């Protein structure tokens, strides 16, 4: 039951994020409607259809409540989760930052399909709380047992950043891609700032 609520909540969160992007795009469309009209409108249509897809996914979750068989991490933000051709869910990888020096792994609480991860335009790094160096993110099949968790707030921002990265990766129009890349960078910076703040707290 709890797992379902979490999944629904993460879908709703994605919808809220998409609606914010929609607002931005509509502002762009209004500002230079003549110039970028076609591409912006295409992006708006695509986001609208993503929002509808999520509605359907939420309905499915509610309809099938109690039938969820495979365990999912309860608080994961899932990106690109969708049924594959055979109706089975496409497997998700865990997004982590690994410190080989301290032999620690920071799990982000975000899961993403490998295809999407590999299509991302930007590899991002995070300053390590154990050794102070920057480590790149990785997608791993198994969340390691010994791990440190990212703060929830940072996880939320990182999820938004990643979602924008995914949109940037699939945007055909350079202007739209740039818009998403900029949003992804901004969210990522917020994620890093919150993570730094969380780690600066005593205890």
Residues forming the site for Zn ion (CB under 5 A): 99, 101, 128, 130-131
> 3-state DSSP call for residue 15?
helix
In whole angstroms, the minimum distance from the beta carbon of 101 to Zn ion comes to 5
**Which residue from 175, 104, 60 is spatially nearest to 167, judged by alpha carbons?**
175
- Map tokens 């993570």 to a residue: 195
Residue 179 has a CB neighbour count (10 Å cut-off) of 22
CA-only gyration radius of the chain, Å? 18
> From CA 126, how far away is CA 110, in angstroms rounded?
15
In whole angstroms, the minimum distance from the beta carbon of 102 to Zn ion comes to 5
Indicate the residue among 35 and 101 with the shorter CB distance to Zn ion: 101
Indicate the residue among 18 and 128 with the shorter CB distance to Zn ion: 128
> From CA 122, how far away is CA 119, in angstroms rounded?
9
Q: Compute φ and ψ for 163, nearest 5 degrees.
A: -60, -40
Indicate the residue among 79 and 105 with the shorter CB distance to Zn ion: 105
In whole angstroms, the minimum distance from the beta carbon of 105 to Zn ion comes to 10
Indicate the residue among 1 and 123 with the shorter CB distance to Zn ion: 123
Which long-range contacts link 57-61 to residues 24+ away (Cβ below 8 Å)?
A: 57/11, 57/82, 58/8, 58/11, 58/12, 61/4, 61/7, 61/8, 61/11
- Map tokens 């009209």 to a residue: 37
Indicate the residue among 128 and 162 with the shorter CB distance to Zn ion: 128
In whole angstroms, the minimum distance from the beta carbon of 85 to Zn ion comes to 40
Indicate the residue among 74 and 133 with the shorter CB distance to Zn ion: 133
In whole angstroms, the minimum distance from the beta carbon of 156 to Zn ion comes to 23
In whole angstroms, the minimum distance from the beta carbon of 110 to Zn ion comes to 19
């Amino acid at each position: 039951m709890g797992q379902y609520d979490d999944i629904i909540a993460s879908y709703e969160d994605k919808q809220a994020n998409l609606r914010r992007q929609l607002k931005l795009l509509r502002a762009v469309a209004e500002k230079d409607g003549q110039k970028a009209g076609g591409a912006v409108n295409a992006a708006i249509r695509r986001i609208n259809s993503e929002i509808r897809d999520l509605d359907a996914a939420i309905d499915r979750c509610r309809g099938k409540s109690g039938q969820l068989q495979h365990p999912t991490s309860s608080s994961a933000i899932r990106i690109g989760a969708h049924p594959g051709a055979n109706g089975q869910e496409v497997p998700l990888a865990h997004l982590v930052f690994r410190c080989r020096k301290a032999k620690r792994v920071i799990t982000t609480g975000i899961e993403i399909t490998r295809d999407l991860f590999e299509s991302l335009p930007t590899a991002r790094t995070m300053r390590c709380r154990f050794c102070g160096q920057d480590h790149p993110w990785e997608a791993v099949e198994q969340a390691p047992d010994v791990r440190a968790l990212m703060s929830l707030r940072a996880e939320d921002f990182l999820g938004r950043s990643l979602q924008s990265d995914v949109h940037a990766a699939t945007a055909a129009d350079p202007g739209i891609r740039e818009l998403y890349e900029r949003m992804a960078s901004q969210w990522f910076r917020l994620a890093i700032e919150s993570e730094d703040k969380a780690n600066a707290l005593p205890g």
